[in-house]
């Protein structure tokens, strides 16, 4: 479901161990100080081991116009994180991953100084590969780019990234390295 939907989007609230404790409307869960909620982050690689980045659409209510991981979002209450991740890859990128596997979880709290919103998430990580070129939904994604590790370092120094990007990337790196192989230099 795109951010532009008129129906309120509900998120699954969790405790520190990831056990569901309730639900909250999406924007309310992100207002300071933030409510701990279930989320997911996807990292997709091409056949050369390059990581797909997306620059979030300028119309996004949260973190517009910044670079981030391939896809991220929130499962609906009761929706398995893997199902939500695969669904959102299709909705945002217009493709299905050729491979998608779990890469652990990470919990964090990151205030976003630009919006005043807070990312307080129990984030399920997924790493996979794409066999076809993405066809991004313009209401979700302004542009995409495949990058090597070195290219990512240069881009992070020159352009803004989401407040959660480095945290989720570091947590997913062991699985990214495993899938990409040593030649990709992750």
List strand residue ranges (DSSP E) for 26-98, in order: 37-45, 51-56, 67-68, 71-73
Determine whether 72 is an active site residue: yes
157 phi, psi to nearest 5 deg: -75, -25
- Residue 126 contacts residue 42 (beta carbons within 8 Å): yes
Nearest alpha-carbon partner for 164 in 100, 105, 112, 86:
112
Tokens of 121: 């998430």
28 phi, psi to nearest 5 deg: -60, -40
Instruction: Indicate which residue of 12, 92, 119, 121 is catalytic.
Output: 121
Instruction: Indicate which residue of 12, 71, 72, 92 is catalytic.
Output: 72
The DSSP call for residue 19 is -
Query: What's the rounded Cα separation, in Å, for the pair 117 and 109?
Result: 11
Query: What's the rounded Cα separation, in Å, for the pair 27 and 18?
Result: 20
Q: Which residues are catalytic?
A: 72, 121
């Amino acid at each position: 479901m795109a951010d532009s939907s008129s129906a309120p989007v509900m998120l699954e609230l969790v405790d520190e161990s990831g056990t569901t404790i309730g639900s909250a409307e999406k924007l309310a869960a992100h207002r300071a100080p933030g409510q701990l909620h279930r989320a997911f982050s996807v990292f997709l690689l091409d056949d050369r081991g390059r990581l797909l980045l997306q620059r979030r659409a300028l119309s996004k209510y949260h973190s517009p116009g910044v670079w981030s991981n391939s896809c991220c979002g929130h499962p609906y209450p009761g929706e398995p994180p893997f199902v939500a991740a695969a669904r959102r890859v299709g909705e945002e990128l217009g493709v299905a991953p050729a491979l998608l596997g779990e890469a652990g979880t990470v919990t964090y709290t990151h205030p976003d100084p630009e919006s005043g919103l807070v990312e307080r998430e129990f984030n399920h990580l997924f790493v996979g590969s794409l066999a076809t070129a993405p066809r991004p939904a313009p209401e979700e994604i302004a542009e995409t780019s495949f990058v090597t590790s070195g290219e990512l370092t240069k881009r992070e120094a020159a352009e803004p990234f989401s407040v959660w990007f480095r945290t989720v990337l570091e947590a997913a790196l062991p699985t990214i390295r495993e899938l990409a192989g040593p030649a990709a230099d992750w």
